[in-house]
Amino acid sequence: MAAADSPSAGLRRRDLCSRGIRLAGKMRSDVMDLLDTYVEWQGLDASASVAAVEGVPVAAVERWDEQTGTQRLLENLAAYRAFRVLLAQMLEEQQEQLGEADTALGRALAAVLLQVSAFTYHLEELLQLESRGTPSEEVAVPAPPSQLGLFERKLRGLGVLRELAQWAVRSARDLRQLAKPSPGISSAPSPDESP
């Protein structure tokens, strides 16, 4: 926390939070566009319901408003590291499936992957500002079962993107909560700011 007390650390945190919020917003926007593209490319129904996918972090959380800032950051970091792996898998599958890399879907997936990476960087920087250090890179994302059929993989991808969109919304709120001038980021947010 010592670092967070310095003015420059405060500015740095606000800057990171601000850009993280906007990045989350853009990420959501791009993920929404990507969902449309994905549904179209994969021949899926946009209204198809997808059951919870194993290994995909869930944005919804109980008592969100009671979380501390560090807790939020850590949950976000874990989620986006998982999304980074999942999206990389999806990109690889998409390239294998379509046989070419430079497609609109591929470009969109790569762009979202980059944004997820960028957001992960933001979270790591914020955690460093909190003098928390970043947890190890190991992410407990199970590799897609090889026995999954093509359709299941498409649906899994759809679930990943939908959850990512949810996380983008939550992350923006988390960072907005962190950006508020407060005695400490560990303080609990007010109830009205819960997602």
- C-beta atoms surrounding 193 within 10 Å: 13
Q: Does 23 bind other proteins (CB under 8 A)?
A: yes
Q: Which stretch binds other proteins (CB under 8 A): 21-29, 139-147, 155-163, 182-190?
A: 21-29
Task: Please report whether residue 118 would count as binding other proteins according to CB under 8 A.
Answer: yes
Residue 176 binds to other proteins (criterion: CB under 8 A):
no
Q: Which one of residues 1, 6, 33, 135 is an interface residue with other proteins (CB under 8 A)?
A: 33
Query: Does residue number 186 form part of the binding site for other proteins (CB under 8 A)?
Result: no
Which residue number, 74 or 172, has a Cβ lying nearer to other proteins?
A: 172
Window contacting other proteins (CB under 8 A); options: 28-36, 53-61, 71-79, 90-98 = 28-36
* C-alpha span between 62 and 67 (Å, rounded): 9
Q: Is 29 among the residues that bind other proteins (CB under 8 A)?
A: yes
Binding site for other proteins (CB under 8 A): 19-20, 22-23, 25-26, 28-30, 33, 108, 110-111, 114-115, 117-118, 121-122, 124-125
